[in-house]
Structure 1
Amino acid sequence: MSKGARARPGRADRLRRAVDPYVAALLGTVLLATVLPASGRGAEAAGSAADLAIGLLFFLYGARLSTREAVLGLRQWRLHLLTGASTFVLFPLLGLAAHALVPFLLTDRLYVGLLFLCVVPSTVQSSIALTSTARGNVPAAICAGTYSSLAGMAATPLLAAWLIGSALSFSAAGLAAIATQLLLPFAAGQVLRRRVGGFLARHRKPLGLLDRASILLVVYTAFSKGMAQGIWHQVTPVRLLVLLLLAAGLLGTALVTTSYAARRLGFRWEDRITIVFCGSNKSLATGLPMAAVLFGGAAGPVILPLMLYHQLQLMVCAVIAARWARRPEAPAVPEPSPRLPVRPVGPEESLG
């Protein structure tokens, strides 16, 4: 068998890993909502079930976040400060700059979705997986994802209210809904973590499927409501292409900026890998339920930019991680020969 023939399965395998099956399921859910949207009593039942699913999701998020790991990770505060600045400062600034495309290429609602994408926290699982593949600092990636999720519980709604403003129609009732559906379940998960942590660890796979099924329900409900509002009259193929190009621009800018900043600030290779992936990725699992709470029945077109960005980040970052994984190992420091006496190095001697 030729060398080229042996290489083909590897490339096909990488392509299958890059195209996330879950994103395909999300797109299938959007198609289902387009063809068979929930209506009448079915829509009410789906909405109530989606509200319960969101509460369950954030309870599980809180129960899974390790407070101990978060505290231990504070020692690398410079790394976490840089990733946080990328997530909650750089991205919102880029989102505000995109306002120049309204109304020529983007509708107001699609721009709101793009801006919401820019205030969503970083992902946890994808960042860890990519960092591990690229032989980066995995413990730092775990902590960075944890801090971003914790900060996003407050920062995402507040930044959305500040930057998006009237599109959210924030009121006392809206703030109460955020507290009831997001913050309280999350806090309850943190409080009960010691009691339920073992159960969650033993049933990680079925609970992961429950997570994903819950988010699919949220997406189905959002797009069913969007169909009643004529969502596909607002989202033309040209605007979808513009959204994809904008998502690519956001991702490319974040990757280049975090890589340059980490290198200029003197981070070692493993930490730079963590900064690039944690500083450029956005969480679909956190962002979709938040959008459903913040935007209600108008969430349909708002979540499209986040869905496009998520698939794009998986494909591009998977290629980058595979390339970085092939870098040569750092040369090991040779051990002194046991046959020769080891003389202490004095302070006046240079070690190069």
Structure 2
Amino acid sequence: MNRLRELLDPFLLLLIGMVLLASVLPARGDGARIVALAADAGIVLLFFLHGAKLSREAIWSGTKAWKLHLATLSTTFLLFPLIGLATQHVGGIAPSTRAGLLFLTLLPSTVQSSIAFTAIARGNVAAAVVSASFSNLLGIALTPLLVALLMGKSGGGALISLTSVEKIVLQLLLPFLLGHLSRPLIGGFVARHRAMLGRVDRGSILLIVYSAFSAAVVEGLWHKVSRMELVVLAVLCVIILAAVLLFTWALGRLLHLPREDAVVLQFCGSKKSLATGVPIAGVLFPASVVGPMLLPVMLFHQIQLMVCAILARRYGAKAGPAD
């Protein structure tokens, strides 16, 4: 029972709660507009805080391991998208959900869980900070570009217009840069109140998810997605994660990376960020499409946490007791 509690992410349970709430009591009319405005404000706040939390020291501290970081970024933004394109030929799921699978593969890596699992596995934590942070930094620009290049032709309806570019700049890039530039003024506050700011992060994401799924439910989401489709989707997420984990393990051996760096490649290279994916989807896609687009991201998020938690503990046990 304790093991089950460790594997189940409480935040994901809250996300599921938001989906259930939106399914029973979706925001409609003026309420939907108010929730959407609050969700937009949440996106701005989320990226402002991400910018404020990222120190320049963290960026420079592990940059010497260029081979590791290049391998991680290649896995995140080259291998994953290729796998995503391959999933577009799988039957049994709706076009919008299939587009969500492709969107999942275009996201940057997670930050917190990648670093945490690297630490548990006794890997190179400093390099994990650099790889995960750099992936998220690049993802703000690369993910929308990849969406424009690949999803406009996949039925996702996400060709980027001037309005979309404006939203990306105003809701993602500008808040991130302002947060980072404000770091000398608020960096101490951010460091002292990480737990509180983490709750703000999660609260913003919960609000965005509720807004997105409310719009999707109003448009008839649950009449379009069957139980069998959810099963197929979960199986595809497991297959994608297994393929990337095997690839990163083999790539680490091929590049003769030290064990500590190979751990970083596996954990930073195999993950996709729900925290970044939710607000980016909210910016790039129409409200009625965001719900089904996020289903694969939410499923993959929980599966990657469960699998990587098991792997991290095994790697850490094999590494021996800590010094």
Query: Which bracket does the TM-score occupy, shorter chain normalised?
Result: over 0.9
Q: Does 1:75 align with 2:64?
A: yes
CA distance in 2, matches of 1:106, 1:95: 14
User: Which residue does 1:243 correspond to in 2?
Assistant: 233
- Which amino acid in structure 1 is aligned with residue 117 of structure 2? L
CA distance in 1, matches of 2:57, 2:294: 33
CA distance in 2, matches of 1:231, 1:135: 43
Q: Does 1:130 align with 2:117?
A: yes
Q: Does 1:150 align with 2:141?
A: no
C-alpha deviations, 1:264-301, integer Å up to 9, x for none? 11011111111100000111111111111111312010
- Which amino acid in structure 2 is aligned with residue 60 of structure 1? L
- Which amino acid in structure 2 is aligned with residue 55 of structure 1? V
User: Which residue does 1:105 correspond to in 2?
Assistant: 92
- Which amino acid in structure 2 is aligned with residue 306 of structure 1? V
User: Which residue does 1:46 correspond to in 2?
Assistant: 35
Q: What do you get for the CA RMSD once the two structures are aligned? A: 1.3
User: Which residue does 1:261 correspond to in 2?
Assistant: 251
Q: CA deviation at 1:68?
A: 2.0
User: Which residue does 1:348 correspond to in 2?
Assistant: none
Q: Does 1:179 align with 2:166?
A: no
Q: CA deviation at 1:326?
A: 1.1
Q: CA deviation at 1:227?
A: 1.0
CA distance in 2, matches of 1:195, 1:80: 30
Secondary structure of the residue that 2:88 maps to in structure 1?
Answer: helix
Q: CA deviation at 1:221?
A: 0.2
CA distance in 1, matches of 2:210, 2:265: 34
CA distance in 2, matches of 1:94, 1:106: 16
C-alpha deviations, 1:109-131, integer Å up to 9, x for none? 01110000001000000001101
C-alpha deviations, 1:79-116, integer Å up to 9, x for none? 00001011000000001011111xx3121101110000
Between Structure 1 and Structure 2, whose CA radius of gyration is higher? 1
CA contact 1:222–1:296 (8 Å) conserved in 2: no
- Which amino acid in structure 2 is aligned with residue 184 of structure 1? L
Q: Does 1:22 align with 2:14?
A: no
User: Which residue does 2:85 correspond to in 1?
Assistant: 96
Q: 1:193 aligns with which of 154, 159, 183?
A: 183
Q: 1:86 aligns with which of 61, 69, 75?
A: 75
CA contact 1:62–1:187 (8 Å) conserved in 2: yes
Q: CA deviation at 1:190?
A: 1.2
Q: CA deviation at 1:132?
A: 0.6
Query: How many aligned residue pairs are there?
Result: 318
Q: Does 1:230 align with 2:220?
A: yes
Q: CA deviation at 1:15?
A: 2.5
Q: CA deviation at 1:328?
A: 4.6
CA distance in 1, matches of 2:319, 2:196: 38
Structure 2: 5+ residue stretches without partners: none
User: Which residue does 2:314 correspond to in 1?
Assistant: 323
CA distance in 2, matches of 1:290, 1:79: 26
- Which amino acid in structure 1 is aligned with residue 239 of structure 2? G
Q: CA deviation at 1:16?
A: 1.3
C-alpha deviations, 1:145-201, integer Å up to 9, x for none? 111011101100000110001611421111111111111101111111111110111
Q: CA deviation at 1:67?
A: 1.6
Moved more, 311-320 or 203-212: 203-212
